[in-house]
């Protein structure tokens, strides 16, 4: 019913647009330029549905069913065949002019202009402002990670019922716990104060700030999720987004702005004393502590820019890490052999779990454990945290192949064309990853001397706009995985089907001399041999 109403509203606007749209020789110019460059047209999917909006509505429906990435593959394979990888998808007759009218218009109301939402000179300024803050020495606060991982363990332990369940936890969903933990880490790293969504009793009383109500630390995650759900719809409808009801989206935006603005105003009013008011549970002086807002305030005093830059980093840092962790444990729960091998590597290097001394060093996280790195890479291939990305051509250019009857000719891309990059579909191609592309197999990253990254693997983007925070996301994910596998044994026992809910079981590890014995139910591995 919602889409029928929208279609009825769009129809008169569309007809007026078609009637008054300028008639020029664009198509002829494009054809001549394509011939001059030796290009051939890419295959074109059939128009579908009312006014050509069928593909758009199908995509929105699939997204609401949480299967948008799979829909891209099914739609193209179903109509064009599995060997066609570059297609033109007609949606009505509108065209996107540049990213400032698309991504920025969709995201700016909630997060403002920052490194994630801007382009051109604005993007360069944002990147120059934020990039130094992602230097190695700024993201190695393992004490911060450990404190929030301990709260994660406490949340997991609440699900235990050893007396009635033979040591296993009740079935439960890990994903919300990962989102809470990532939100706690990022808010503390950005503003110095964690929202403590995992354990609200840890929240400290904030100082009074004349003219500003205290921020809503309890519902900030809810508003971020709700706002981004609307952003997805707004982006899909593009120039017709003004037809969407604004009330709920505006409510989320206002709450998110209010949250960030409170800390920005506190930092601007207190200056360097802002750091003195922070609580540091490790006992180290606050002068040694990294807080992004404080660092940015040394460069700019513009409250809108400080709010926008920190919110841009907040949404990227929270969602990528939480999604990556969720998918890692999704695959580990369904591939016991991978779980066993990974846990053996971790126990061999770090030893069994110790609450007071995790024994994890930043150098080891940065350099990566071989199999853990392979697990992360394979997870990002199978389930990239950004399954669909897009770019806009700033000038006439070409794609190197995809045109012509054999799809080996270059494809002409006129200025202003939107190019969708389905990173999920890219990771499922047998011609790139082999006949087992649909199988979760981390070993593929270790074979033949190790696989190198190329543009067939872009989970964090590529080129100039490659994500600045990918190293931070990998380090946080690695730390959590190490601590989780140190503390917990196998996820599934033999009597549970592969699609059973996550279940944890404790075990005992024995370490003597150079030998480490790790018992995973009925599987034993001993490195002394």
Annotated binding site: 467
Please give, one letter per residue, the 3-state secondary structure of 184-214: HHHHHHHHCCCCCCCCHHHCCCCCCCCCCCC
Which tokens sit at 21? 């749209």
322: exposed, middle or buried (Cβ count in 10 Å: 0-12, 13-18, 19+): buried
Q: Tell me how far apart the alpha carbons of residues 111 and 271 are, in angstroms, rounded to a whole number.
A: 24
Give, to the nearest 10 degrees, the angle between helix 370-382 and helix 470-487. Answer: 110
Residue 163 to residue 339: CA distance in whole angstroms: 26
What does the radius of gyration of the chain's CA atoms come to, in whole angstroms?
Answer: 25
**Token couple for 460:** 């964090």
The helix (H) or strand (E) run that includes residue 414 is none
Per the CB < 8 A criterion, the answer to whether 327 and 379 are in contact is yes
Q: How far is CA 387 from CA 72, 323, 352, 500, in A?
A: 10, 11, 35, 25
Residue 282 DSSP one-character state: T
List beta partners, residue 526. Answer: 517
Q: Cα-flanking dihedrals φ and ψ of residue 389, to 5°?
A: -120, 170
Question: At a CB cut-off of 8 Å and minimum separation 6, what does 353 contact?
Answer: 483, 486, 487, 509
In whole angstroms, give the CA distance from residue 490 to residue 319.
Answer: 26
- Positions at the binding site for heme: 467
């Amino acid at each position: 019913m919602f889409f029928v109403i929208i279609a009825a509203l769009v129809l008169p606007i569309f007809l007026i647009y078609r009637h008054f749209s300028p008639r020029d020789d664009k198509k002829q110019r494009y054809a001549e330029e394509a011939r001059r460059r030796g290009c051939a047209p890419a295959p074109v999917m059939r128009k579908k549905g009312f006014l050509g909006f069928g593909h758009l509505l199908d995509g929105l429906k699939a997204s609401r069913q949480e299967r948008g990435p799979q829909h891209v593959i099914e739609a193209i394979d179903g109509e064009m065949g599995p060997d066609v990888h570059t297609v033109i998808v007609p949606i009505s007759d509108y065209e996107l002019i540049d990213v400032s009218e698309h991504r920025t218009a969709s995201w700016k109301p909630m997060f403002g202009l920052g490194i994630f939402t801007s382009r051109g000179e604005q993007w360069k300024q944002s990147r120059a402002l934020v990039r130094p803050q992602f230097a190695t020495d700024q993201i190695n606060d393992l004490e911060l990670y450990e404190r929030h991982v301990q709260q994660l363990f406490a949340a997991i332990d609440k699900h235990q019922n050893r007396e009635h369940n033979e040591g296993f936890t009740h079935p439960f969903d890990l994903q919300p716990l990962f989102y809470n933990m990532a939100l706690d880490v990022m808010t503390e790293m950005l503003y110095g104060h964690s929202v403590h969504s995992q354990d609200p009793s840890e929240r400290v009383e904030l100082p009074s700030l004349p003219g500003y109500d205290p921020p809503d630390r309890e519902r900030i995650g809810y508003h971020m999720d709700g706002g981004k759900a609307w952003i997805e719809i707004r982006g899909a409808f593009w120039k017709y987004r003004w037809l969407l009801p604004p009330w709920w989206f505006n409510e989320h935006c206002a709450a998110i702005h209010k949250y960030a603005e409170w800390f920005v105003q506190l930092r601007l009013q207190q200056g360097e004393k802002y750091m003195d008011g922070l609580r540091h549970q490790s006992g180290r002086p606050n002068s040694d502590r990294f807080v992004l807002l404080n660092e940015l305030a040394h460069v700019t005093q513009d409250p809108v820019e400080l709010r926008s830059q920190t919110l841009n980093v907040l949404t990227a840092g929270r969602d990528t890490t939480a999604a990556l962790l969720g998918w890692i444990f999704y695959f580990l729960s369904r591939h016991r052999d991978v779980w066993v091998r990974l846990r053996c590597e971790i126990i061999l290097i770090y030893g069994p779990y110790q609450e007071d001394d995790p024994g994890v060093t930043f150098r080891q996280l940065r350099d990566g454990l071989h199999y853990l790195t392979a697990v992360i890479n394979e997870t990002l291939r199978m389930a990239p945290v950004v399954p669909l990305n897009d770019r806009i051509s700033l000038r006439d250019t070409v794609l190197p192949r995809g045109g012509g009857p054999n799809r080996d000719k270059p494809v002409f891309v006129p200025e202003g064309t939107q190019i969708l990059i389905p990173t999920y579909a890219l990771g499922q191609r047998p011609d790139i990853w082999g006949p087992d592309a649909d199988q979760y197999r981390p070993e593929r990253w270790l074979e033949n001397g190790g696989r190198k990254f190329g543009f067939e693997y872009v989970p964090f983007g590529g080129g100039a706009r490659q994500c600045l925070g990918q190293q931070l996301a990998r380090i946080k994910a690695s730390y959590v995985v190490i601590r989780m596998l140190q503390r917990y044994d196998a996820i599934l026992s033999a009597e549970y089907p592969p699609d059973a809910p996550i279940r944890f079981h404790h075990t005992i590890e024995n370490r003597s001399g150079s030998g480490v014995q790790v018992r995973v139910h009925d599987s034993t591995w001993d490195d002394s041999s």
